[in-house]
Structure 1
Amino acid sequence: MFTVELYARVRRAVMAEGLSRREAARRFGVHRNTITKMLQYSVPPGYRRRERPISKKLGPYMAWIDKVLADDRLVHAKQRHTAQRIFERLRDEEGFSGGYTIVREYVAQAQLRSREMFIPLSHRPGNAQADFGEADAYIAGRKVRFHYFCMDLPHSDGCFVKAYPAETAEAFCDGHVAAFAFFGGVPQSILYDNTRLAVARIVKGGERLRSQMFAELQSHYLFADRFGRPGKGNDKGKVEGLVGYVRRNFMTPLPVAESFEALNARFLDACTKRRRAILRGQSTPIGERMQADMAAFLPAPPAPYDACHKVATRVSSMALVRYRNNDYSVPMRFGHREVLAKGYVDRVEIVCGGETIAVHARSYGKAEFIYNPLHYLALLEHKSRALDQAAPLDDWRLADCVHRLRRLMEARMGNSGRREFIQVLRLMEDFHQHQVEQAVAEALRLGAISFDAVKMLLLARLENRPARLDLTFYPYLPAATVGATDPRAYLGLVAGASVIAGVMDSNAGGRHDHLA
């Protein structure tokens, strides 16, 4: 290996001083061919092999190894061959007699040659990328695994994040609606992976058939959709990077929140604060660069999209409607009717004939029953014997005064008392529970144990007037007797007052004489 100093001396002698190559070879003691190479390179180029060396032992098996590695690209990443496994198969199946090291080195070089290369991209204003991520948090004191929707604006790096209990179609669409509201407009196009939430099926030629809900969302906001190659997350690298950034910066350490609403408020604040950041390679903050995005956005429609999953179904004989493997109650009068179940992220609404007949908090469990006790009271009034075994009433929290009212009613009136107690409960169909409980407590204080009394006291409290109870209906109340006044008694009272006054005057005169 010749030094850089020798290269410099040879090149100066030949190229500057005009020495011939033959003389230079004789002066410096090197071959003329070496002088020619030194004139071509200013520094020693190092050893360069013209072609890949072929191991005599491994050479016959290289094509077999290349085929195994090529086939691995079509299987699950965790079930691909390791160098050790390739060596074992070569030894057992192909009769390879060489060592493990040359196999490992060849596999490493082959994998390095097959690694994908990428072209840096520029992003025009007004476009977006969207994806879901997954993380853990403590919600209402319980550790839960949640999903979060991310939308990234590649031109400006503006971002939006919202957490959901599950990665569902309604969460996917609700994330778009919330992102558009946050950004103040609709991107011209959005890039996705081939998620089932948006793509129902990929047909011949790579054409995507959109899911029903995603097609409705797109028709409402009129943005164009674009999809990456199946299994190639790098096609939407911006939002993939955002998913990781959010997990590392917004969710480390594990977030603690009272509800998803509180957690999302924190994420929204973090996205807003990030607009002040100046990223590597940029000279202006994200917020300033977002102005170009917003100028290129499509205008938002007058009303947001109703982001819900709709299912046409029928009410069962127990006034239940099944949605996503859970049962939700409706009023008994809608039994056996055709209804529409609308699943939102946080609630389930049940509609019959254009009327919303029930609204429940959304459950993400399985085979659960979500009851509203008020839906069953009308039937319980006719089947009062089922009161103690009615499952919809099991978890109903009522004030102690309400349970005391029931005991008194049943003790005084028997079965009819139980039915009248259910009538008291039915007041909660039209009034707030705490208002009815206040009226019950007042009725107990007065000893007016009846449905009519509770209703009268409730209405009087709401109308801010004194209650006028007909006491003939409450014989157990203590009676007060007030007699009529005789006019002669009044005259006698006046006469008696005159006598008393005269006596007082005489007593006063005697005191004056004594003092004199």
Structure 2
Amino acid sequence: MKHMNKVPFRMVFDNLSAAVAHIGSGKDRILTEGFKRFVEHYGIEPVFCNASAGWEKGNVENKVGYERRNMFVPVPTILDFDQFNRKLLKCCERDMQREHYRKGHLIADLFEADRQAMLPMNPIDFKVSRFQAAKADKYGKVMFETNLYSSSPKLAQEHVYLEITSDSVTIMDIKYNPVVTHCRLYEKDGESMDWLPYISLMLNAPMQLNIQAFIRNYPRYGRTTWQSCHQRRRGKPSLL
């Protein structure tokens, strides 16, 4: 919708668990709180497929197959999803410059006619995230699910808040001020480390931090640089 800068006034959904908390009889659905906020935010009328009636969305499945055959062969290597999605949208826009197989008009022209009939886009983005309270350990690291995320040594043993999306984890202090944003990890027992808050404290107030504990985990290529800076500023022998 953001790419189109318009919102369809009526959208058909499958009975995905993120949207439907309970399937009643006929078209009756109990929606999740998050999905209700989403449709109200954009003014969408949601309509749902019948349960166990896959043939109702056969046209959509055919379109998915078309995209796979034409835009995902050979299988792409994706290093940055945002960059890849921008590239994919450009591919779709180029693909619309062909005639519709049945209507005899360019797909781009048909799409523009549909777009003009849509609702205006809400200028305020709908944030798809959840919040969770946590407590940082003695190094200012926070555990979420099975992975560790760094915050700041100033937050060691402090209560913090996490704003979690599908691809990011933002750590905030007790007043909801963002401290650092990490790419969300999905493996088990992983760790995401942003060294900047720690380096700043190690250089300016080294006695407030167990430097050796952090330097042992610091990327090897940066240890020599840090040691040189620390010696020049403090005039003390190396800790390494």
TM-score over 0.5 (shorter chain): yes
* 214, 220, 223: which one aligns with 2:41: 220
Q: For residue 277 of structure 1, give the secondary structure of its aligned residue in structure 2.
A: coil
Aligned mates of 2:154, 2:228 — CA distance in 1: 30
Match of 1:295 in 2: 116
* Aligned partners of 1:191 and 1:236 also within 8 Å: no
Relative contact order, higher structure (CA 8 A, sep 6+): 2
Task: Tell me, yes or no, if the aligned pair for 2:142 and 2:151 is still in contact at 8 Å.
Answer: yes
CA shift in 2, pair 1:275/1:408, >3 Å: closer
CA distance in 1: counterparts of 2:85 and 2:19, whole angstroms = 23
1:48-197 to structure 2, matched below 5 A, reads 180-197=1-18
Contact 1:373/1:393 (<8 A) preserved: no
**How far off is 1:248 after superposition?**
0.7
CA 1:335–1:400: 2 relative to 1, 3 Å: closer
Give the aligned length. Answer: 235
Q: Does 1:364 align with 2:189?
A: no
Q: Is the 8 A contact 2:215 2:223 kept in 1?
A: no
Q: Tell me the residue number matched to 2:211.
A: 387
Measure, in 1, the Cα distance between the counterparts of 2:85 and 2:179.
Answer: 29
Encode CA deviations 1:434-459: one digit per residue, 9 max, x unaligned.
xxxxxxxxxxxxxxxxxxxxxxxxxx
What corresponds to 1:267 in structure 2?
88
| Partner secondary structure for residue 314 of structure 1 | strand
Q: What is the 5 A alignment of 1:422-437?
A: none
Kept in 2, the 8 Å contact 1:373–1:396? The answer is no
- 1:368 alignment partner AA: G
2:91 is paired with a residue of what secondary structure?
A: helix
Distance, in Å, in 1 between the alignment partners of 2:14 and 2:216 is: 43
The answer as to 2:177 corresponding to 1:355 is yes
Cα distance, 1:234 vs structure 2: 2.0
| C-alpha distance in structure 2 between counterparts of 1:392 and 1:271, whole Å | 48
Q: In the TM superposition, what is the alpha-carbon distance from 1:408 to its structure 2 partner?
A: 7.8
1:316 aligns with 2:140: no
Q: Per the alignment, do residues 327 and 219 of structure 1 end up closer, same or farther by CA in structure 2, a change over 3 Å counting? A: farther
SS of the aligned residue for 2:185 comes to coil
Alignment partner for residue 222 of structure 2, among 398, 405, 412? 398
Does structure 2 retain, via aligned residues, the 8 Å contact 1:202–1:208? Answer: yes
Aligned Cα root-mean-square deviation (Å): 3.0
Rounded to whole Å, the distance in 2 between the matches of 1:408 and 1:334 is: 28
Deviation at 1:187, TM superposition (A): 0.4
- Equivalent pair of 2:27/2:48 in contact (CA under 8 Å): no
1:450-461 equivalences under 5 Å are none
Gaps of 5+ in 1: 1-179, 422-516
Question: Which protein shows a greater Rg?
Answer: 1
1:281 alignment partner, SS class: coil
Choose the corresponding residue for 1:198, options 15, 19, 41: 19
Equivalent residues of 1:278, 1:286 under 8 A apart: yes
| Contact 2:22 2:29 (C-alpha < 8 Å) held by counterparts | yes
Relative to its length, the structure with more helix (as a share) is: 1
Task: Work out the CA distance in 1 between the residues paired with 2:108 and 2:84.
Answer: 23
Q: Distance in 1 between matches of 2:152 and 2:65?
A: 46
Q: Deviations over 1:281-326 (max 9, x none)?
A: 211111111233112201111222123x212212233323333432
The runs of 5 or more residues in structure 2 that have no matched partner are: none
Question: AA paired with 1:360?
Answer: H
Match of 2:236 in 1: 413
Aligned-partner residue type, residue 144 of structure 2:
Y
Match of 1:251 in 2: 72
Bigger proportion of residues as strand:
2
Q: Conserved in 2, the CA contact under 8 Å of 1:346 and 1:362? A: yes
Q: Report the Cα offset of residue 272 of structure 1.
A: 0.3
Partner of 1:91: none
Residues 26, 50 of structure 2: 8 Å contact kept: no
Equivalent-residue separation in structure 2 for 1:396 and 1:200 (angstroms)? 49
Give the counterpart of 1:334 among 148, 155, 161: 155
TM value normalised by structure 1? 0.41
Contact 1:193 1:233 (8 Å CA) reproduced = no
Q: 1:340 to 1:233 in 2, by over 3 A?
A: farther
- The offset of 1:258, in angstroms, is 4.7
